[in-house]
Amino acid sequence: MKHPALLGIVAALLLSGVCSTYAADSYWYTGVGAGYSRGGAAIERKKDFDGGFKGSLGYQINRNWAAEVSYVSLGNFEYAYEAGGVTQQDFYKVTGWGFSAVPTVPFTNNFSLFGRFGVFFSQTRITVHNPGTVISNNIPNFQTDNTSFLTGFGAQYFFNIDTGMRIEYENFGKVGNAFCATCTGRANAGMVSINAIFKF
């Protein structure tokens, strides 16, 4: 055997977490978090970032796989167009449900890295003030439902057997619709968040 040290390191990585109290057990968990989200749908932007919120429910099937459902509010984005001294303001809001598989790689008893892939069912709403840069009443909310790929990655750390913390980035893909007169416009949505995780 030419590289016993290298093989030993590989074996240790593959076996890490087998005796782990926190990583090896199957369990249900719930999470709640807040983050900084981004959406971009127009050439002229006034407010492209906002605070977001996330709640999730998941099941850790084994130390390497979990399944999760989440509800996400990506906040409110504002787009402004000005002409002739009149400003048209578009207020853009995105919420939705995510369903994802979460591959997990435990490194210690309480620390692991994870990925995320699945689908995101979004609901996008837009309210327009002064449409066409003409002073007038607001246009009633336009609403578009859409489905996109959900991907992400992050790290989690458990302080004890029941409570932990996650930091992650999620890419919700394209939300909204730009192909009709009463559509909301298209946006690329993503969020960086910090989440508290609780086993039960």
- Model pLDDT, residue 163: 96
Among candidate residues 103, 117, 200, 107, the one with its CA nearest the CA of residue 157: 107
The series of mean pLDDT values per 10 residues for the chain, 200 residues long, is: 40 36 70 82 56 93 95 82 70 90 95 97 81 63 87 97 96 78 70 95
Token pair 């959406």 in the structure block, residue = 39
- Model pLDDT, residue 28: 94
Whole-model pTM: value is 0.74
Instruction: Say if CB 158 and CB 21 are below 8 A apart.
Output: no
DSSP element (H, E) containing 187: strand 185-199
- Model pLDDT, residue 112: 96
- Model pLDDT, residue 31: 95
- Model pLDDT, residue 80: 72
Distance separating alpha carbons of residues 171 and 72, to the nearest angstrom: 12
- Model pLDDT, residue 142: 76
- Model pLDDT, residue 67: 97
Token pair 């167009």 in the structure block, residue = 81
CA torsion sign for 5, 11, 16, 18 is negative
- Model pLDDT, residue 39: 65
Per-residue DSSP letter, 26:
-
- Model pLDDT, residue 178: 66
- Model pLDDT, residue 30: 95
> CB-based contacts of 49: which residues, under 8 Å, 6+ apart?
36, 37, 38, 77
Distance separating alpha carbons of residues 34 and 188, to the nearest angstrom: 19
